[in-house]
Amino acid sequence: MTWLTGDFPKVILAPMDGYTDPPFRRFIKRVAPRAIVFSEFLSARLVSQKPSLAKTLFRVYDDEKPVVIQLYGKDPAEFCQAAQLAEAEGAAGIDINMGCPAKKVVAHRHGSALMKEIELAEAIIRQTKAAVSVPVTVKTRLGWEDDRNLIPFALRLQNCGLDAITIHGRTYSQKFDGSADWRPIYALKDALSIPVFGNGDVVSVADAVEKLGNLDGVMIGRGAVSDPWLLQRACAAFAGESDAAKGSPAFAEKAAVWKTFATMAVEGGAKSEQHACQAFRKYLVRLHKELGLSREVRSRAIKVNALADIHHVLDLFAEEAALVAA
């Protein structure tokens, strides 16, 4: 069995640079054990040139499995080597990034640039498929400036043996502006025989249910950072469970899990405690905004430099959130 078997529709944590590292993935699996988690995008070239990095970059913990490792690059041979190393470290699948719109990524013919180089994209899929036994998938966008080539592009990848595809409902030109358009994704599903997942602007259970349509699942990114419990509620909704309609638990109930996540993130960091805590501030800022708390509490959150500081701020969040709810 692979992660592409079993129950459908699936709920998937999107690969997000700077976010979906092992601590965050393990956090997600604690609150949404049925969700599938993807790594942040990792350089095929870097790992192929320095194989010793694989044990760190591709590390998979038992409590987060199955994990799909996402790779970016442009050299089929580098993808093959990196994919083999990822599989050896326990990856349940390899996802090829053909959608990142960042200028520095596209300038090197990576990410979204592969949508304009179909022969290269085909070679990457064909050769990576031959190199590993786990599923090989792609995450991409509607197209460069419009969606007219989406179906022909995806059909050619499917013919190379692609196992599944995820489409972010924006073009390269849109970056993250405007609203995600899922209509071309539904049309793509009708044209393909492999699983198709949709991504873009899923920030509530209602969004997940409304946008699912004929697809095989939804991928959730920024909404999961603001509310990790969203993935669990989406899983429940797709399974037809009664608790799907429940809102997110009160923060007082979540605080202990957030503290566990903070401990994993700080103690598992490759650098100093202070550096790890500074990196964790982004989660506290998002959480503060989600909870609608005071500026005074936010000022504490953006100054944390030790794990004890983070735990104290989370206690303050819980106290103030209870007052807001009352």
* Identity of the amino acid at 62: D
b/e code 170-206 from CB counts within 10 Å (16+ = b): bbbebeeeeebbbebbbebbeebebbbbbbbbbebbe
Cα atoms in the Cβ-side hemisphere of radius 13 Å centred on 207 = 20
User: Pairing state of beta strands 10-13 and 42-43?
Assistant: unpaired
Q: Which residues contact 188 (CB under 8 A, 6 or more apart)?
A: 150, 151, 154, 165, 167, 196
Q: Which is the catalytic residue, given 80, 100, 235, 277?
A: 100
Q: Which helix (H) or strand (E) holds 254?
A: helix 251-267
100 as an active site residue: the answer is: yes
- Could you tell me where the DSSP H helices lie in the chain? 22-31, 44-49, 54-57, 76-88, 103-106, 118-131, 150-159, 183-191, 205-212, 222-226, 229-238, 251-267, 273-291, 295-301, 307-325
Q: Which helix (H) or strand (E) holds 206?
A: helix 205-212
The label of the residue with tokens 């690969």 reads 15
Question: CB–CB of 207/178 below 8 Å?
Answer: no
With vertex at residue 106, the alpha carbon angle to CA 212 and CA 125, rounded to the nearest 5 degrees, is 60
**105 alpha carbon, distance to own chain's centre:** 18
Cα atoms in the Cβ-side hemisphere of radius 13 Å centred on 189 = 18
SS3 165: strand
Looking at the DSSP bridge assignments, the partners of residue 187 are none
Residues labelled as active-site residues: 100
